[in-house]
């Protein structure tokens, strides 16, 4: 019995637009049947562009500063000159919406800068007007105005200094007055990498944990693993904690690699306690593990799960102070920053790494992140119970 050779090669090797379009329509039909994915694909770009557009439309304004005007009226008998420049400078600063002026003691202002309550403290010395008069009469004098400023936010620092220069120029003119900048937090001068890495660490934790967490739990649904668990004595809360513990181990690995890479490879400085930094990263990671499990309860497939990551991370980037300082956001948009987890993550990592703060200065941020852990855990438990039957 003879066997016929079977030719498995396609007989028609010519390009066919009809076959190509058939594949294209088949791909589109898959999305048409998945209404939730279509909704996410439509909403995510709009939400992200809206938030970024609003965030980048603002300028650095209303930066809190403290002014200590000690300048007194000075009158020179011959030639007869009388000047009192301190009030002119402060009036110009008050009129400028780039800063939000509070009058107070310079030493107390230094403490406020160190605690993060204000960004700068300005001292106009008592002999300021006298020195200007002496300069006008031909004496060779040095005129200084002191600014104690936080250097951890380069954009805000530049804006504050520009505002002060403008106020001086309007009040005194080009008189060769020297602005003496004294940097807060032990005079630390930071590179762009130093000030950027804490924000990057917080963002990496959010983005990776949300995307890995949502995909992992969603894949359990698709593969039928969760269906097999329904027949076991496991309660929904036990299944939830099991997912969380597993994801937390992954989170610890990600956090460790991020911190080690930033410190050892890029040489990022850590001025505070390393163990407190690790604890902050862990509690911040736990909050986003719970968030990932909560979000996964609303995803029917991996494509939907993937879209939750940018929907969570990118608005956080715009509103949390990573790309644009919060004070640069439109005033009506700034309150939203305080419900974004990234805001507190950046506060924690910047406070420990750049400012050398401890739990005493950061207890509010730690408390908020812990509260978010509890909130996301409750939301995850409630939604799991609504979707699973014990």
Say which CATH number the domain at 163 has. 3.40.1710.10
Q: Given a cut of 60, is residue 4 above it in pLDDT?
A: no
Least confident window among 46-60, 64-78, 267-281: 46-60
Write phi, then psi, for 311 (nearest 5 degrees).
Answer: -65, -30
User: CA end-to-end span of the chain, whole Å?
Assistant: 62
Specify if 217 maps to a domain. Answer: yes
Same domain, 164 and 306: no
Average pLDDT of every residue of the chain: 80
When pLDDT is averaged across residues 122-130 and rounded to a whole number, the result is: 91
pLDDT value at position 388?
46
Dihedral sign from CA coordinates of 96, 98, 102, 105: negative
Distance from chain centroid for Cα 10:
56
My answer on whether 236 and 152 are in the same domain is: no
**Which among 161, 187, 213 is the end of a domain?**
187
Residues 82 and 226 in one domain: no
181 and 214 together in one domain: no
**Which residue would you say has higher pLDDT here, 55 or 247?**
247
What proportion of the chain, given as a percentage, has pLDDT over 70? 80
Is 369 a domain residue?
A: yes
pLDDT at 387: 46
Give the pLDDT confidence score for residue 280 in this predicted structure. Answer: 93
Mean pLDDT in residue range 121-147: 88
Q: Calculate the CA 302 to chain-centre distance.
A: 27
Reported as a single tens digit per residue, the pLDDT across 173-183 is: 766 788 899 99
Q: What is the C-alpha to C-alpha distance for residues 147 and 170, in angstroms, rounded to an integer?
A: 18
Coil/strand/helix, residue 101: strand
349 pLDDT higher than 90: yes
- Shared-domain flag, residues 242 and 161: no
Give helix then strand counts, H and E, for the chain: 15, 7
What is the C-alpha separation between 101 and 95, in angstroms, rounded? 9
Q: How far apart are alpha carbons 317 and 199 in whole angstroms?
A: 9
Q: What would the pLDDT profile of 300-333 be if each residue is shown by its tens digit?
A: 777 777 777 777 877 888 888 887 788 777 778 8
Judging by beta carbons within 10 Å of its beta carbon (0-12, 13-18, 19+), is residue 269 exposed, middle or buried? Answer: middle
User: Structural domain of residue 94, as residue ranges?
Assistant: 63-187
pLDDT exceeds 60 at position 71: yes
Domain count for the chain, please give it: 2
In a domain, 41, yes or no: no
Count other Cβ atoms within 10 Å, centred on residue 380.
26
Cis peptide before 133 (omega within 30 of 0): no
In this predicted structure, the answer to whether residue 2 has a pLDDT above a threshold of 60 is no
Give Cβ neighbours of residue 281 (< 8 Å, ≥ 6 apart). 201, 205, 255, 258, 259, 349
At 103, is the pLDDT very low, low, confident or very high (cuts 50, 70, 90)? very high
CA 106/CA 97 separation, integer angstroms: 21
Q: Are residues 201 and 222 in the same domain?
A: yes
């Amino acid at each position: 019995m003879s066997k016929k050779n079977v030719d498995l090669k396609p007989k028609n090797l010519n390009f066919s637009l009809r076959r190509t379009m058939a594949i294209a329509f088949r791909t589109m039909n898959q999305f048409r049947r998945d209404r939730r994915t279509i909704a996410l694909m439509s909403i995510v770009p709009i939400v992200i562009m809206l938030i970024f557009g609003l965030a980048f439309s603002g300028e650095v304004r209303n930066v809190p500063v403290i002014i200590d005007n000690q300048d007194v009226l000075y009158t020179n008998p011959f030639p007869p000159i009388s000047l009192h420049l301190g009030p002119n400078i402060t009036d110009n600063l008050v009129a400028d919406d780039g800063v939000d002026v509070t009058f107070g003691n310079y030493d107390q202002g230094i403490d406020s800068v160190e605690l993060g309550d204000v960004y700068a403290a300005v001292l106009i010395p008592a002999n300021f007007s006298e020195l200007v008069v002496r300069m006008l009469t031909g004496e060779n004098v040095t005129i200084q105005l002191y600014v104690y400023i936080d250097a951890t936010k380069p954009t805000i620092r530049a804006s504050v200094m520009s505002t002060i220069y403008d106020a001086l120029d309007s009040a005194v003119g080009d008189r060769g007055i020297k602005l003496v900048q004294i940097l807060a937090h032990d005079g630390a001068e930071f590179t762009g990498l130093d000030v950027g890495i804490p924000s990057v660490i917080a963002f990496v934790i959010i983005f990776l944990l949300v995307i890995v967490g949502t995909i992992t739990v969603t894949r359990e649904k698709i593969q039928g693993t969760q269906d097999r668990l329904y027949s076991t004595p496991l309660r929904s809360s036990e299944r939830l904690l099991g997912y969380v513990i597993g994801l937390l181990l992954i989170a610890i690995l990600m956090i460790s690699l991020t911190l080690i890479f930033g410190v050892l490879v890029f040489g990022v400085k850590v001025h505070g306690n390393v163990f407190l930094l690790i604890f902050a990263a862990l509690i911040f990671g736990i909050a986003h593990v719970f968030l990932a499990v909560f979000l996964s309860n609303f995803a029917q497939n991996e494509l939907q799960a993937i879209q939750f990551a940018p929907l969570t991370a990118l608005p956080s980037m715009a509103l949390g102070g990573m790309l644009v300082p919060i004070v640069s956001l439109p005033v009506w948009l700034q309150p939203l920053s305080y419900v974004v987890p990234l805001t507190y993550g950046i506060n924690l990592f910047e406070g420990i790494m750049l400012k050398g703060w401890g739990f005493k200065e950061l207890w509010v941020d730690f408390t908020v992140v812990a509260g978010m852990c509890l909130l996301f855990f409750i939301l995850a438990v409630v939604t799991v119970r609504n979707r699973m039957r014990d």
